[in-house]
Copies of this chain bind each other. A is one copy, B any other.
């Protein structure tokens, strides 16, 4: 249960999520992720390291570049599910509000 919470924590950070999204369409090297997200290089490196340790992303050096790739694209399904639940939660809250007014 603690491990599961830690896994969720991987996705609980906006910038980390942005880094993950940058990798949705395929492998990118660090600089490419930096340009695509607008985050600082040090920060991108940190998040990529976390994602690697979490087993979400795979690190592969190629010459002087280092490419990162999402291992199991099922993570995007997880993200999509969360988005859906988030929308439903919003609707429910509006409904609850409407029931009062």
Contact = CB atoms under 8 A, between A and B. Distances in A.
A39 B101 CA distance: 36
Copies in the complex: 2
* Interface size classification for chain A: 35 or more
A79 interface: yes
A97 B21 CA distance: 27
A13 interface: yes
Given A1-B18, A9-B12, 10 more contacts: A1-B14, A1-B17, A1-B21, A8-B9, A9-B9, A72-B92, A75-B85, A78-B78, A78-B82, A81-B81
Interface of A: 1-9, 11-14, 16-18, 21, 54-56, 58, 71-72, 74-75, 77-79, 81-86, 88-90, 92-93, 96
